Amino acid sequence: MADFDGLSDALNLRKAQSLYRSRRLLTSAQQPQQQIDGKDVISFCSNDYLGLANHPKVKEAFTKAVELYGVGSGASHLVNGHSALHHELELTLAEFTGRDRAVLFSTGFMANMGSITALVGRGDAVLQDKWNHASLIDAGLASAAKFKRYQHCDLASLERQLLSCSDAGRTLIVTDSVFSMDGDIAPLAELADLADAHNACLMIDDAHGFGVLGTTGAGASEQFQLSQDRLPVLMGTLGKACGTFGAFVAGSEELVETLIQHARSYIYTTALPPAVAAASLASIELIQTEGWRRDRLQQLISQLRAGIERIGFPLMESGTPIQPVLIGDAELALKISGKLEENGLLVTAIRPPTVPDGTSRLRITLSAEHTEAQVGRLLSVLGDVYDQLSTQEREQLSQARTKLLV
């Protein structure tokens, strides 16, 4: 048996550095009012941006599909696990995003891993935003292509990387559309221009944009009016604004067929349960027909940002439901998160290695199901917590604020 001496020491060190992570036990539906670890809380840390995870129509679609198809899909898509509901969902996603075709993956991580490793390899190049999601970074490293990271949303940095990879066989530029820990949006139109100028292919991870961005909620491609030619590889997830589970990649006929033939994380895994596909179809219909949910989000974002700025916490720039409050120090971020929880408010403290050292933060996320009163409660408690901070802790926040201005 392998010698695993040292694991305890490493875990204890993580605890001492205020970087230890613990799972919470949810015993209620995914909605703003939750029960976590036996306590009633108002949650401000879910990615259920449109409040669809517990929507009656979504649950009804799931239940009806279970009666017809059962619970499990039983096999991979390429054996006999690809149901009519999966196929209908792929057609719907392709039409909604303005693409020729779409292909379902079981998770967003698998979609990114399968796509990047299928599209580039030895002799190619993959260039990624420094703050991309871990799944994109891991996929780039696993691809065997020349892997480079450009400075966050920095077009000049990317162009330098493109010039250094001019001899690559195929070049793939990869970015999040909405960055999950910061809430800011990549300059996608300019990235598409650079891709065109350097004969590169642009891929975006629209996990936090799909359902939220765009006039009808189709995501970043709609928001920035990026056609399939300008944005050849569009990945999105169904477990966030859609409120269900799974992911998809949309693009040309050739792209989708390439992924079906070569993406190992698609070929060698069990398909999503058909009932989840049915629930996703119901969610997409709600996204398309209930635009008030996106309007509601914008109202709550404005309320929250105005309130936090009055209190004095350093608030990162974001117009999305992800509203990060930069704290800086991991221990202080945990302390403030704990004070909020004592008052029945669940806000996660995000610490390294998820974010860079010295940039620990409170990641506040909003849902269309939140009420103005709930946001007002959060602001009231944040104000009380700020007033109780020591001089040293306020100085730490001042240093964090300085980082935002640099």
What CA–CA distance (Å, rounded) separates 19 from 30?
26
- Answering whether pTM is above 0.85, one says yes
- Residue ending a domain, among 264, 289, 314, is 289
Give the residue numbers of the binding site for pyridoxal 5'-phosphate: 108-109, 180, 208, 237
Q: Are residues 82 and 171 in the same domain?
A: yes
The predicted pLDDT at position 5 comes to: 78
Q: Does a structural domain hold residue 178?
A: yes
Q: Are residues 285 and 303 in the same domain?
A: no
Find the mean pLDDT for residues 24-51. 95
Q: Are residues 370 and 238 in the same domain?
A: no
What CA–CA distance (Å, rounded) separates 174 from 124?
14
Tens digit of each residue's pLDDT (9 = 90 or more) over 8-17:
999 999 999 9
Within 10 Å of residue 291's Cβ, how many Cβ atoms?
A: 12
The closest of 60, 33, 35, 64 to 48, measured between CA atoms, is 33
- Has residue 1 got a pLDDT over 70? no
Residues 6+ apart with CB under 8 A from 249: 102, 103, 105, 111, 115, 233, 234, 235, 255, 256, 259
Domain of residue 229, residue span:
56-289
Q: Are residues 138 and 246 in the same domain?
A: yes
Sign of the CA dihedral 391, 392, 397, 398? positive
Structure-token match 């780039």, residue found: 140
- Has residue 172 got a pLDDT over 80? yes
Domain count, the chain: 2
Q: Are residues 157 and 278 in the same domain?
A: yes
Q: Does a structural domain hold residue 144?
A: yes
The predicted pLDDT at position 406 comes to: 66
Find the mean pLDDT for residues 119-127. 98
Q: Do the beta carbons of residue 173 and residue 158 sit within 8 Å?
A: yes
Give the residue numbers of the binding site for substrate: 21, 133, 354
Of 43, 240, 318, 370, which one is the catalytic site residue?
240
State yes or no: is 208 an active-site residue: yes
Tens digit of each residue's pLDDT (9 = 90 or more) over 284-343:
999 999 999 999 999 999 999 999 999 999 999 999 999 999 999 999 999 999 999 999
Q: Do the beta carbons of residue 137 and residue 257 sit within 8 Å?
A: no
Burial class (CB in 10 A: 0-12, 13-18, 19+), 252: middle
Q: Does a structural domain hold residue 398?
A: yes
Average pLDDT over the chain reads 96
Q: Are residues 35 and 159 in the same domain?
A: no
Burial class (CB in 10 A: 0-12, 13-18, 19+), 88: middle
Find the mean pLDDT for residues 165-188. 96
Q: Does a structural domain hold residue 18?
A: no
Burial class (CB in 10 A: 0-12, 13-18, 19+), 229: exposed
What CA–CA distance (Å, rounded) separates 150 from 167?
18
CATH number at residue 337: 3.90.1150.10
Q: Are residues 169 and 279 in the same domain?
A: yes
What CA–CA distance (Å, rounded) separates 178 from 211?
12
Q: Does a structural domain hold residue 399?
A: yes
Find the mean pLDDT for residues 215-222. 98
- Has residue 43 got a pLDDT over 70? yes
Q: Do the beta carbons of residue 329 and residue 390 sit within 8 Å?
A: no
Q: Are residues 279 and 156 in the same domain?
A: yes
Find the mean pLDDT for residues 215-240. 98
The predicted pLDDT at position 155 comes to: 98
Q: Does a structural domain hold residue 193?
A: yes
What CA–CA distance (Å, rounded) separates 316 from 131?
15
Residues 6+ apart with CB under 8 A from 269: 76, 106, 110
Of 82, 86, 208, 370, which one is the catalytic site residue?
208
Q: Are residues 175 and 79 in the same domain?
A: yes
Q: Are residues 100 and 215 in the same domain?
A: yes
CATH number at residue 70: 3.40.640.10
- Has residue 405 got a pLDDT over 80? no
What CA–CA distance (Å, rounded) separates 94 from 282?
16
Percentage of the chain exceeding pLDDT 90: 94
Tens digit of each residue's pLDDT (9 = 90 or more) over 336-381:
999 999 999 999 999 999 999 999 999 999 999 999 999 999 999 9
- Has residue 2 got a pLDDT over 70? no
pLDDT tier at 153, thresholds 50, 70, 90: very high
The predicted pLDDT at position 404 comes to: 79
DSSP state string for 159-205: HHHHHHTTT-SSEEEEEESB-TTT--B--HHHHHHHHHHTT-EEEEE
Q: Does a structural domain hold residue 8?
A: no
- Has residue 57 got a pLDDT over 60? yes
Tens digit of each residue's pLDDT (9 = 90 or more) over 190-214:
999 999 999 999 999 999 999 999 9
Least confident segment among 103-107, 164-168, 339-343: 164-168
Give the residue numbers of the binding site: 21, 108-109, 133, 180, 208, 237, 354
Q: Are residues 39 and 165 in the same domain?
A: no
pLDDT tier at 402, thresholds 50, 70, 90: confident
Q: Are residues 136 and 254 in the same domain?
A: yes
- Angle at CA of residue 41, ends 40 and 46, nearest 5°: 130
- Residue ending a domain, among 239, 269, 289, is 289
State yes or no: is 28 an active-site residue: no
- Residue ending a domain, among 289, 319, 335, is 289
Q: Does a structural domain hold residue 15?
A: no
State yes or no: is 240 an active-site residue: yes
Of 180, 221, 280, 367, which one is the catalytic site residue?
180
